Structures are given as structure tokens and as C-alpha cells.
Amino acid sequence: MRAAVLTGPGAVEVADDWPEPACGPDDVLVAVRAVGVCGSDLTVVDGRREVPGLPWPIGHEAIGDIVAVGARVPPGRVGERIAVEPNFPCLHCPACLGGRTAVCPRRRILGINEPGALRDRLAVPARFAWPAPAGLADEDLVCVEPLAVALAALARAGVRAGERCLVVGAGSQGLLVCLALRALGAVPFVVEPHEGRLATAISLGAAAVPTHQHFSVIFETSGAPPALETAVEHAAPDGRIVLIGQSTVPARLSTFAVVQRRLSLLGCLIYDHPADFAAAIARAGELRPGRILRGRFPLTRVAEAFAQARALPGKTWITLEESR
């Protein structure tokens, strides 16, 4: 079986003899169709996020077809086209029992502390394999997982129709936030130094931020430390700054500005199982998140895909079927 593996910082290659996954009694075996590339994958590839060992299978935003099921899974699920929810909370700790699965201390994450999804076949717990709605294109299905992140952030921020919102960063997550804001009836503006990403956001209905404008809600999606200063600068009194992007590098923050303008900072970590992922897959046909896809690569060009993902506007994805 082929798998895309990290062999060292910045080094990604295809292993042709990776072991086949074991399908447990509550699992489904998935023939992977495609995997999206996101910022957390790039931190792993760069060596900025530690993994259990090398070589390490990477990737987590997977879609595919169920080809076998475990003993306790209904056999009728064979043949389903699915999206994988790649965060597996324990479902037993106080956080999970309180509906806050995103902060489960025992959460298993494909590509981070669990072997990743960018391989020919993958075994996942059946409850985290979501059937695709009829007629939903693979392009939209592969974007469901990051769409769940965007929708959960909007809900946490309490965004209302008609509200003017600023999105700091027009990478793939920022683009999905823009799409979700427009679908809600909010008005998205964007600030982004990369001309191609800014143009992509504008093509999807966002507007470039006017000089010295202030906003009631700001979504910081890039994780770049200076972006927090940009978010505070543009926050209106009583504004909410929603932090989606992450960095271990400290960012400067003026507590004077936060206090004087009564700003709120909200950390948004992924989504909660099962409701948030269910909502994302149900709305994917309406929102058409596949519109953010730009770079498409076969598995045989996986190293190039990860290298290009940093420079290409829009989202990069890797397909496996055509290179089998």
C-alpha cells in the first residue's frame, strides 16, 4: 500500500510498501479518494509540530469509499462515499460528556498523534465516517472538515445577519470563513498581503478592507503573530476577536486597547462532535466550499503539492484514484 510519509523536516515521499491498516470491530476500511492540505499539515511537514516518530504518514482531511466494515458495523455501509471526521475524542471524559469534544484531553488526531490519512487505505471508527449527501461533488466533500471549523467559529462568535466582519488572512480557512459569512447574510471584508489570495477572496464575495475601518467581529485565521495586532487595530468598541489561526510564537497585545474598547478574545479550536460536523456536511451542497480549491496534485507529486501549497492561492488537494 502507498502512503505519503514525512521522513524528516521538509522531506515528504511516497512509501510503496506501507503496512495495511487493521479494521477493528467498530471501524470501517476506507479506500481514500483525496486529501486536502491545510496549515496544520504544513506545521508537521516543517517540523514545527512534533509527531510520534519517523517515517510518519501525514494528512487528515480525507474522503473516500468504505470497502469493508468491522464486526459491529452494519454491512450495508460498504460502498458509502464518505468524509472522515479526523478528530477522535474519547467521548467519556468530562469535556466530552459536556459536549466540548474539541478540548478532549485524549483526542486522537489523524496526521498529528495518529498515523495520517494520505494513503491508499485507512481504517477509522465508523461513527467518524460521514456519508456524503447524494450529488455532492468530491471537490465540496474534501472541504467539509475545514468548513466545519469555519461554521463552528461563526457560531461561537454569535455572528448575526448584516454584521460587518473582518477576516484577517485569506488562506483556505479564511476563504471558508468568508463563504460562511456571506451565506449567513453577514458582510465579509478581508485583509491579506498575498495578492493572489486577496484576489481569490474578492472573487468569492469578500471586499478588501477600507483604510481605518472598524468591525464588530474580526476572525484571525492566519496564525501569524503580527496578525493579532491587525485584528486589534480594526476592532470596534465591544468587538469580538475570534482566533482560529495558531502559533507558538508570542504575539504582541496591547491590554490598554483591549480594556479601553472592551474587546473580547475568543479562541476557536476545531469543532464539537457530532453536531458541528453533521451541520457542515449537511450544508456543503449549499455553500459549495470546493470553490476555494486551486492546486490539484496526484499522490505521485505529493512533495510538490506540499511545497506549492504555501504559495498557491486557494486550497491544495491531493487525489489518489488517478495515480493508483
Asked whether residue 276 is domain-assigned, the answer is no
Residue indicated by cell numbers 455553500 = 287
Q: Are residues 17 and 70 in the same domain?
A: yes
Under DSSP, is residue 52 helix (H, G, I), strand (E, B) or coil? coil
270 is written with which cell numbers? 476545531
Asked whether residue 284 is domain-assigned, the answer is no
Q: Look up residue 251 and give its DSSP letter.
A: -
CA 168 to chain CA centroid, Å, is: 16
Residue stretches of the chain with pLDDT short of 70: 322-324
Domain CATH for 176: 3.40.50.720
SS3 annotation, 88-113: ECCCCCHHHHCCCHHHCCCCEEECCC
Q: Are residues 295 and 197 in the same domain?
A: no
Q: Are residues 154 and 219 in the same domain?
A: yes
Asked whether residue 280 is domain-assigned, the answer is no
Domain CATH for 78: 3.90.180.10
Q: Are residues 177 and 233 in the same domain?
A: yes
Asked whether residue 139 is domain-assigned, the answer is no
Q: Are residues 64 and 183 in the same domain?
A: no
Asked whether residue 233 is domain-assigned, the answer is yes
Number of domains in the chain: 2
Q: Are residues 167 and 217 in the same domain?
A: yes
Q: Position 53: which residue type? A: G
Burial per residue of 251-283, b for 16 or more beta-carbon CB atoms within 10 angstroms, e otherwise: bebeeeebeeeebebeebbbbbbeebbebbbeb
* pTM of the predicted structure, to 2 decimals: 0.97
Give the residue numbers spanning the domain of 248: 147-267
Predicted local confidence at residue 210, as pLDDT? 83
DSSP string, 61-85: EEEEEEEEE-TTS-GGGTT-EEEE-
Predicted local confidence at residue 228, as pLDDT? 97
Predicted local confidence at residue 324, as pLDDT? 55
pLDDT tens per residue across span 177-217: 999 999 999 999 999 999 999 999 999 999 998 888 999 99
- Of the candidates 107, 37, 108, the one whose C-alpha atom is nearest the C-alpha of residue 45 is 37
> How many Cβ atoms are within 10 Å of 57's Cβ, its own excluded?
21
Q: Are residues 244 and 310 in the same domain?
A: no
Q: Position 97: which residue type? A: L
Q: Are residues 90 and 184 in the same domain?
A: no
Q: Are residues 10 and 125 in the same domain?
A: yes
- Of the candidates 128, 82, 83, the one whose C-alpha atom is nearest the C-alpha of residue 107 is 128
Q: Are residues 111 and 186 in the same domain?
A: no
Asked whether residue 141 is domain-assigned, the answer is no
Residues 6+ apart with CB under 8 A from 309: 37, 42, 295, 316
> How many Cβ atoms are within 10 Å of 314's Cβ, its own excluded?
21
Burial per residue of 228-249, b for 16 or more beta-carbon CB atoms within 10 angstroms, e otherwise: bebbbebbbeebbbbbbbeeee
Cis peptide before 19 (omega within 30 of 0): no
Asked whether residue 90 is domain-assigned, the answer is yes
Q: Are residues 210 and 313 in the same domain?
A: no
Residue indicated by cell numbers 485569506 = 170
pLDDT tens per residue across span 255-278: 999 999 999 999 999 999 999 999
Q: Are residues 303 and 243 in the same domain?
A: no
Asked whether residue 142 is domain-assigned, the answer is no
